[in-house]
Structures are given as C-alpha cells and as structure tokens.
Amino acid sequence: MDENVLKGKWKQVRGSVKKQWGKLTDDQLDQIEGDRDKLVGKLQEEYGYSKQEAEQQVDQFLREQ
C-alpha cells in the first residue's frame, strides 16, 4: 500500500493502526488523516523512535496491509 492508497483507505486502515500502535489516541489518528509523514512524526513523539526507525515501522506496516 502506498501513501496515496493510505489516504484513501484511512478510515478502514485506522483500526489496524490503532491496534499496531495503541498509544496513539483517536484525536491523533484524526490529525494524521492518512498522511504517512504525520504518522511517522506521531510515532516519534509517542514511542521515542528515531525518524528512520519510525519510517521503517510504517513502511513495514504498509507492506503488510
């Protein structure tokens, strides 16, 4: 799944994102709106990931979807 598909299917994928990264709140998921870069940033904030680590986590998640 690429970034454009993520934006288009955000409402469907949102539950999987919440399951994968439970620290993310519903408000944060609303702010992300399917934007990969925003998701990466929120993972850095909530989980203390480096940018590279957060990007790898998101890319792996998207490949699995």
Region 43-55 average pLDDT = 97
How many domains does the chain divide into?
1
What is the pLDDT confidence band of residue 8, given thresholds at 50, 70 and 90?
A: confident
The token duo for 19 is 């399951």
* Residue 57 belongs to domain spanning: 3-64
| Predicted local distance difference test score (pLDDT) of residue 3 | 73
Return the CATH number at 8. Answer: 1.10.1470.10
The reported pTM is: 0.90
Q: Is 30 exposed, middle or buried (0-12, 13-18, 19+ CB in 10 A)?
A: exposed
| Predicted local distance difference test score (pLDDT) of residue 30 | 95
How far apart CA 10 and CA 6 sit, in angstroms, is 6
